[in-house]
Amino acid sequence: MLGRKKIIQNPTVAKHMTAFFSELTPEDRRSSRSVGQAYGAFLYNSRKRELVDEKRFSASAFHVGLGADAGDLGRLTKRGVLVADSLLVAHDRSFPQHTVAAMTRSRSVLDSASGPGGESHMQVCAVTEISEHVAMHCPDLDGLGRWILDAEPLLRAGLAWYLPTYSWGRESWNVWDVNDFSGGSTREAANVPSALDFLVRSGRVVEEYDTGPVKSQIVRPVLQFDLPFVDGVDLLDFSKLTVHEFASYAGFRGFLRQTFLELDDALNAVESERELIKIGLRIEDEIRGIQAQLSAARRKRAVAVTGAGVGTVGAVLVAVYGPAFQSALTVLGAAGAGGVWGIIQAAADNGRHSLRQDKWYYVWALARKSSRYGF
């Protein structure tokens, strides 16, 4: 049996994220802090002191890049993914540092000395202890780890990823005499290019924000918009549904993009809010519409299974199946009425499959998972 086609939005991101998750052990997954730390270490090239595979990342199309604040990263991700081909989120250097990799080494200074018999030999006269560390900036390493695990389906598909912001530091202790550890110490620190530097170098359009909304014609509305079918779903369920119902998701994403682009920039705040309310009401109507169609498909299936006489359920079938049922009766006649059941059954079997290609099925699936709907 053929498996479900693997969804890949951004091949470069998907490749690295899949490699990262394949290295995580079950023990690593039990500690969200360990996951966050491992993620930072995985994407850091210690030899070049930069992002791993930077050139390939830079060549990828990141349609939306968001600088996150200390708030809910999950909410930002769910809303950003609704309009982005590949969502990139990052924290800047204003947040605390968390060490993701460290290394200590020693360097000895040799000098010649004379022995009791006048012979010459080498001896250690000074030792330098060098400690290097790589730190990643984020408000909460545990929270980042939980986000990575919950967003795993999105990351594996290249629909979203997190770009760490790094700092690199080195500390050295000079021990002038191996028997005297009172030598001096020096510290060095260097910033690895930031997320914004990286994205600007790649030539992509990036919007960042601190506490206010992103200044983007597409992103701003989706961050401000009331989306109960999204906000009532946790990130893990959202991630799974988005990948599982990718065709329907892509259709809805296109609808949101087009709708937001059509919003006139000249509209004042009140008019813009009114237009967003209209969009929200349309989405709610479409969710209910999909629910009604699925219920109708279930009724068709139930009628077909009963095998009841055409005469006893005719009114129900006409109400459910409409003109198609009447046409079938006309073609088959009374003697061939039994064949109507096959027609109805085929329509019922194909009903859900065809609906799943509809852009509103994805929204309905989210609404069904949401705590704010009673489906």
Domain ranges of the chain: 225-375
H or E element in which residue 285 lies: helix 269-306
Give, in degrees to the nearest 5, the angle at Cα 268 between 267 and 273: 90
Q: At 131, is the secondary structure helix, strand, or coil? A: strand
Q: What is the rounded distance in angstroms from the CA atom of residue 366 to the CA atom of residue 369? A: 5
What is the percent of the chain where pLDDT is above 90?
22
Predicted confidence at residue 170, as pLDDT, reads: 73
How far apart are the C-alpha atoms of 146 and 152, rounded to whole Å? 10
**Upper half-sphere CA count for residue 139 (Cβ side, 13 Å):** 11
Of all helices (H) and strands (E), which one includes residue 45? Answer: strand 44-45
Distance CA 160, CA 65 (A): 10
Helix (H, G, I), strand (E, B) or coil at 37: helix
- pLDDT, greater one: 211 or 141: 141
pTM value is 0.74
Residue 146 has pLDDT above 90, yes or no: yes
- For residue 242, what are the contacts with CB-CB under 8 A and spacing of at least 6? 81, 153, 154, 159, 249, 362
**Which of 125, 126, 132, 110 has the alpha carbon at shortest distance from 174?**
126
Say which residues have a Cβ less than 8 Å from residue 27's Cβ, sequence separation at least 6: none
CB contact at 8 A, 76 and 151: no
Phi, psi at 169, each rounded to 5°: -140, 155
pLDDT for 57-79, tens place per residue? 777 666 677 777 767 889 889 99
Query: Angle 235-244/141-150 helices, nearest 10 degrees?
Result: 30
What number is the average pLDDT over the span 293-307? 58
Of 69, 79, 89, 74, the C-alpha closest to 13 is 89
Task: Work out the average pLDDT over 260-270.
Answer: 71
The mean pLDDT value of the chain amounts to 74
Bridge partners (DSSP) listed for residue 109: 126
Give the model's pLDDT for residue 211: 39
- Looking at residue 116, its pLDDT comes to 57
The answer to whether residues 242 and 159 touch, using CB atoms and an 8 Å cutoff, is yes
Nearest to 12 by CA among 76, 59, 46: 59
Q: Residues 68, 94: contact at Cβ < 8 Å?
A: no
Question: What is the tens place of the pLDDT at every residue in 26-55?
Answer: 999 999 999 999 999 998 876 667 778 777
Running DSSP on this structure, what letter comes out for residue 349? H
Provide the pLDDT for residue 22: 95
Structure tokens at 357: 């290609």
How high is the pLDDT of residue 307?
A: 46
Rounded to whole angstroms, how far apart are CA atoms 184 and 299?
83
What gap in Å lies between CA 227 and CA 274, rounded to an integer? 15
φ, ψ for residue 131 (rounded to 5)? -120, 125
Q: Does 279 or 373 have the greater pLDDT score? A: 279
